[in-house]
Structure 1
Amino acid sequence: MTHNERRLASDLAKLGVEQGGVLMVHASLRAVGPVDGGPRAVVRALRRALGPEGTLVVPAFTPENSDTSPSFRDRVRGLADEERAAVKASMPPFDRATTRAPSVGALAETARLTPGALRSAHPQTSFAALGLRAGRIVGGHSADCHYGEQSPLARLYDLRAQVLLLGTGYDTCTAFHLAEYRVPRAPRRLYRCVVSRLGGREWWEYEDVDLDDGDFGALGLDFEGDAGAGNVRRGLVGSAQSRLFRLTDAVDYARRWLPEHRRGARGPE
C-alpha cells in the first residue's frame, strides 16, 4: 500500500500530535512504507499535523567526524596504525551548513535540508528544526555539551515538546540522554572531533558526560509500562507502529530509573 501526505497527517493527528506544538521525531521511513512524494511528503505531513505555529525537530548527528565515536572504532577496527592515521586525515571538519548526517536517516536529513531549517552548532550532536520556535530550540547549543542544559534537549524540555518514535524503538530515544546529565555526579570522559578553525582544520578535545544508550531499550519499555493511561500513545502512522509521549515525562522517569539500574550511578542526595 502506498501512503500519501494527507493520510499520514491524519494518522499523526489521531495519534495525538498537537497543533502548534513542538515535536521531536526519530523515524524509520522503511517502517512507514511507500509514500507518494517520498521523504519530503512525510516532512510535509508532520508539519501539516503541527500546523503553521508548530515546530519540527530532528537529530542531525555527525559521529563520522570524531575519533572517539563507536562509528570510528568500527571503521578502523583491524587497520594498521598508518591506515588509521590516513582515515583520520581524510575526515572533513564539521560545517553546520554543509556537513551531512547520514546516520540519522532519510527523514531527518530531508528535514535538515528543507528551506528555512536551522541547525545547532555542536560538531557531533547537532539538531535541526523547522518552524516558529526553531531559533529558540537550536540557538546556544554549547560545543562542549552534547545533550545537557546548554543543548536543544533542555529547550525541548522547557517547551514540553512531544517525542514521536515513528517506526523506531526506545533505543533511538535521544531524550533519555538529558536525564544522564541530571543524575548527580554523572561520570564524564573526553571526546574529540575535527572542526573548522580560522579557515583550517583542527582536532578539538573536550570533556562531557559519559553517554551510554545501551540500556535505552529497557528503560523505554519500563517507562511505557509504568506510564499512566494515555501518557504513551501507540498507533499506526502509515504502516509504522509508532509511539508518542511527552519529553518531560520520559526525562523525569529516566532521571529516577538510571540510578537504580546502572552500576555506579548515584541518586539524589
Structure 2
Amino acid sequence: MLHPAAEEGTPGPFGRRALTEDLEALGLRRGDTVIVHCSLRSLGWTIGGGVALLVALRDALGPQGTVVVPTFTTYLCDPATWVRRRVPEEWWPRIRASLPPFDPEVHPAQPSLGRFPELVRACRTARRSAHPLYSFAALGPAAQEVLAPHPLDYGLGAGGPLGALLRLNARVLLLGVGWDKATLLHLPEHLTDFRGRRSHVIAVPEAGADGATRWRETTQLVMYEGDFPAVADSLRGAAAPRLGRVGAAEARLCEGRPLVDAACLRMARHRDFTRSAMGPHLVGIAPAPAAAL
C-alpha cells in the first residue's frame, strides 16, 4: 500500500540536496543570518520531514550562517487574558498559583508558529532567548549576538533580537506562508510613532525566591499584521523579494533592512489606530511612549 501522501498526489519526494539547491537558487548565501517562517506541509513530501529542511538550510548557509526562528510562548500569561483557550473564572486563582514560569530549555514554541521552530529549538546546539512571551531560537555563530540581551518590556522592539537582526543585515525567508507571518515587521511598529499606537500590560509568571509562582507585569506593544502584505508589495527594484520554490512551497526571500525601512514609511503615512475601523479592540489601552521602544 502506498503512503497516504503518495496516494493523494502530494508533490515530491524532495531530499536534502534538492532543497539545498532550491534555497541557493532562491538566493540564500553562505554566511547569511536568516529568520525563517515555514509551513512544512507546503514543501510537499520531503525525505526526512522538517529535519531535511533544517539540514538543507545549514548546507546552503555554510558553517558561518545562522538560522533564527520565533519560539513564542504567549500562552504563559494571566488566564484572565486567555482568548483561544478560555477557562472558567473560578480556575484562575489555582492557575495563577501554579503555572510554571518560562524555562527556555523546556517550554515548547506555541503550535501556531508551525512545527519548524520547535524542531530548531530542540536542537542540542541551539540557543534560545529568555523572554517569557517572545523568545527566539537560533543555530549558528551569530546566535548569541541575536539573542542576548532580550528586554522584558517591548519584547519585539529594537532592544531585543529583532533589533539585532536588523544590525546584522539579516534576511527574511518565507516558505509556504504569507507576509503576515514575517515577525521582523513587528520591529517597525516599535520604531514608528504612527497614530493611535498603543501598549498594554501582560502579566507573566516568574519564580519567587521560595520557588512559588509569582506574577510580574510587562509592557508590550499592541501589534497588527493586517498591512504587512502591503509593505512587501511596496518594495521595488533590488529591494523586491526574490520569488521561487523550495520543494513544492512558494518561497520568498527578502533583505531585512529595506523591508523594515519600507514598513516604517508606510506605517507613518497610512496607519491610524485612532479610527475604530482600524482597531476597535484598542479602546482603553494606554498610548505607547516613543522613548520606551
TM-score > 0.5 by shorter chain: yes
Structure 1 partner of 2:155: 146
Amino acid paired to 1:44: V
Of all paired residues, the percent bearing the same amino acid is: 35
Residue 50 of structure 2 is aligned to residue 48 of structure 1: no
Name the residue aligned to 1:134: 143
C-alpha deviation, 1:2, in angstroms:
1.3
What amino acid is aligned across from residue 161 of structure 2 in structure 1? P
Contact 1:68–1:192 under 8 Å retained in 2? no
Query: Could you tell me how far apart the structure 1 residues matched to 2:147 and 2:231 are?
Result: 30
Match of 1:33 in 2: 44
State which of 95, 100, 103 in structure 1 corresponds to 2:103: 95
Structure-2 change in CA distance of 1:89 and 1:176 (3 Å): same
Provide the secondary structure at the position in 2 that maps to 1:95: coil
Query: Structure 1 residues 30, 90: closer, same or farther in 2, change over 3 A?
Result: farther
Query: 1:92: Cα distance to partner?
Result: 2.6
Which residue of structure 1 lines up, in the alignment, with residue 166 of structure 2? Answer: 157
Corresponding residue SS for 1:132: coil
Structure 2: 5+ residue runs without aligned partners? Answer: 1-11, 275-287
Output aligned runs, 1:52-201, within 5 Å: 52-67=63-78, 72-76=82-86, 79-86=87-94, 88=96, 91-103=99-111, 104-184=113-193, 186-198=197-209, 199-201=211-213
Q: Which amino acid is 1:151 matched to?
A: G
Shift of 1:87: 5.0
Q: CA 1:260 to 1:138, structure 2 compared with 1: closer, same or farther past 3 Å?
A: same
| Counterpart mapping for 1:234-253 below 5 A | 234-253=243-262
The separation in 2 between residues aligned to 1:55 and 1:255, in whole angstroms, is: 26
Q: Kindly indicate whether the alpha-carbon contact (under 8 Å) linking 1:68 and 1:191 is maintained by their aligned counterparts in 2.
A: no
Q: Which amino acid aligns with 1:141?
A: H
- Alpha-carbon offset, residue 264 of structure 1: 4.2
C-alpha contact (below 8 Å) 2:43/2:249 kept by paired residues: yes
Q: Which residue of 2 aligns with 1:10?
A: 21
Judge conservation of contact 1:166–1:242 (CA < 8 Å) in 2: yes
- Give me the CA root mean square deviation: 2.2
Aligned counterpart, 2:9? none
Mark the CA change 1:4 to 1:192 in structure 2 (over 3 Å): closer, same or farther: same
Unpaired runs of at least 5, structure 1: none
Question: Would the alpha carbon gap of residues 234 and 90 (structure 1) be closer, same or farther in structure 2, given more than 3 Å must change?
Answer: farther
Q: Secondary structure at the match of 1:63?
A: coil
- Structure ID, larger Rg: 2
Deviations 1:38-60 (A, max 9, x none): 21111111111111110010011
Q: Taking structure 1 as reference, are residues 144 and 69 closer, same or farther at Cα in structure 2, changes over 3 Å only?
A: farther
SS at match of 2:214: strand
Asked if the contact 1:112/1:129 (under 8 Å) is kept, the reply is yes
Number of residue pairs aligned between Structure 1 and Structure 2: 261
Q: For residue 180 of structure 1, give the secondary structure of its aligned residue in structure 2.
A: helix
Deviation at 1:192, TM superposition (A): 1.5
Contact 2:71 2:136 in 1 (8 A): yes
CA 1:135–1:226 in structure 2 vs 1: closer, same or farther (change >3 Å)?
Answer: closer
Write the deviation string for residues 58-91 of structure 1: whole angstroms up to 9, x where unpaired. Answer: 0110011113797x21211xx5421444555563
Q: Partner of 1:204 in structure 2?
A: 216
CA contact (8 A) 1:219 1:257 kept: no
The aligned amino acid for 2:24 is: A
Structure 1 residue 203: Cα displacement: 1.5
- Contact in 1 for aligned 2:179/2:232 (Cα 8 Å): no
Q: CA deviation at 1:182?
A: 0.7
Q: Which has the higher strand share?
A: 1
Residue 230 of structure 2 corresponds to residue 221 of structure 1: yes
The one-letter amino acid paired with 1:138 is: L
The CA deviation string for residues 115-148 of structure 1, in whole angstroms up to 9 with x for no partner, is 2100001100000010011111101011223111
Q: Give me the whole-angstrom Cα distance separating, in 1, the residues matched to 2:244 and 2:97.
A: 46
Secondary structure class of the residue paired with 1:205? strand
Distance 1:193 1:107 in 2: 25
